[in-house]
Amino acid sequence: MLELKGITQIFGGVTALKDVSFCINQGEITGVIGPNGAGKTTLFNIVTGIYSQTSGQVLFEGKDISRMPAEQLAKRGMVRTFQNIELFGKMTVLENVMVGLHSRSKSGLFACSFKTPWAVKEERRIRDEAHEWLRFVGIDELAEVEAGNLPFGRGRMLEIARAMACKPRMILMDEPAAGLNSQETLGLAELIKKIRDMGITVVLVEHDMELVMDICDRIVVLNLGQKLAEGTPREIQDNPEVIAAYLGDDE
């Protein structure tokens, strides 16, 4: 579904990623792991159109999306969440999710100003659907709260609801468990599985090994900007190179 071919990213003189290639299969949960500074977030930013890579290609459903701006990817069915949740802080929880429906609605400047019947109808659909996604992640009772006032864990749920409102075929989550307590992490794991069972491909960058080993179908390990290994959780756990990268060599 998503294919990375020889991605290299150089910032100034620093090589953040070096010739990284792998595939992500449809309908699976894939974890991208690696020690700090391995280039995971950089890779995410390249895939989702926020950075543009020095060289290499990103193919999404067979199409080259390498130089495509972020806003077009949402329309093509790819959406992401952020490591330090990026909510629209001064808008209500409901409005945040309503923005998620932006790419699936059409009324323009003119129709909205003059409140054409078509725009009014669309607005109602957006509102109803946004409530549905809030119920999906279980925070509908917070709909009218200003998003900036949410506790971190709820903010994370809101970010997922907002991303799901785009009706993506693939969702990329950058450290979704960061800052969550163990109870919230359990809830998150259930939610991610639920999203996969809806047929949506999930890609995670994550530090919480328990979560990764528990829910991922496949894992890709990065280290120092290069791909170290890929395979099932069991294979990765037994891979000596991965163990060395995480725990250091015995020499």
Chain residues binding other proteins by CB under 8 A are 48, 50, 69-75, 79-80, 82, 86-91, 95, 98-105, 107-109, 112-115, 119, 122-123, 126, 162-163, 166
**Which 3 state secondary structure label does DSSP give 32?**
strand
Query: How many Å from the N-terminal Cα to the C-terminal Cα in the chain?
Result: 40
Cβ proximity to other proteins, 91 vs 209, nearer residue: 91
Nearest to 76 by CA among 65, 67, 87, 92: 65
Report which DSSP code applies to 146: B
Cβ proximity to other proteins, 82 vs 230, nearer residue: 82
- Closest contact distance (angstroms) between CB of 195 and other proteins is 17
- Closest contact distance (angstroms) between CB of 130 and other proteins is 10
- As separate numbers, helices (DSSP H) first and strands (DSSP E) second, the chain gives 10, 10
- Cα separation, 223 vs 34, whole angstroms: 6
- Closest contact distance (angstroms) between CB of 131 and other proteins is 15
- Cα separation, 72 vs 64, whole angstroms: 12
Compute φ and ψ for 94, nearest 5 degrees: -60, -45
CB 222, CB 32: distance < 8 Å? yes
Nearest to 44 by CA among 208, 232, 202: 202
